[in-house]
Amino acid sequence: MKKLLVIMVALSLVGCASAQRAGWIATAATIDARDAVDQGIKKAFHARAKSCYQQYAPDQLKAQECFTGSREYKAAVIWIKGNGNGVGVWEATNIAIKAAKAALEIAAGRGDSGATTLKKVLGIIKDAVCALAGIVAEYGDLFPAGAKDATKYLGLVKVMCK
């Protein structure tokens, strides 16, 4: 069923553009989602730093405890460092985007079929897109505007991440 849905989405895209172009669009959408989440977390991170500072000043230790115990701080840590594996969602997304771009360029050079390339690119970026969706699902309430933007660009999530 999942494969069928992915094919349906792919065909929808192909209906509007070539499959190669759809691969570039999916890659660009992943970049935009990445940047929307980064901006959203940054704003939330700064806002929490400010509120902790103002609440506990001049007690720096309490202000630091307030900050490092916050969900905003945890979201930033997961975004940059991940969950104990040393690779944050940002870096994982970048690795996938670079691999997708390389696959598209290699395919174009070889003259491979667009549909095969699109399938490959969607496969490469699947984990990154799902990780992005995961952080939006868990912490998106901290950065509603960025989460809304990211969700706009993560249209394939419901299909890819089930």
Partner 1 sequence: MTKETALLLASMLLKVANEIIKAFQLSDDELKEHVSKRLDAESEVAGDLAEYEATKDLKSLIDD
Site residues for partner 1 per CB under 8 A: 1, 5, 8-9, 12-13, 15-17, 21, 24-29, 31-32, 35, 38-39, 41-42, 45-46, 49-50, 52-53, 60, 63-64, 67, 76-77, 79-80, 88, 90, 94, 97-98, 101, 152-153, 155-156, 159
Q: Exposed/middle/buried for 8, CB within 10 Å: 0-12, 13-18, 19+?
A: exposed
CA distances from 89 to 18, 24, 46, 75, 151 (A): 29, 21, 19, 10, 16
Closer to partner 1 by CB, 49 or 123: give it. 49
State yes or no: cis peptide before 58, omega within 30 of 0. Answer: yes
What element of type H or E holds 153?
helix 144-153
Minimum distance of partner 1 from residue 116's CB (angstroms): 18
CA distances from 54 to 45, 72, 142, 160 (A): 14, 16, 19, 43
Q: Exposed/middle/buried for 112, CB within 10 Å: 0-12, 13-18, 19+?
A: middle
Minimum distance of partner 1 from residue 98's CB (angstroms): 6
Q: How far apart are CA 91 and CA 111, in angstroms?
A: 30
Minimum distance of partner 1 from residue 4's CB (angstroms): 9
Minimum distance of partner 1 from residue 121's CB (angstroms): 11
Minimum distance of partner 1 from residue 125's CB (angstroms): 12
Q: Which amino acid is at 16?
A: C
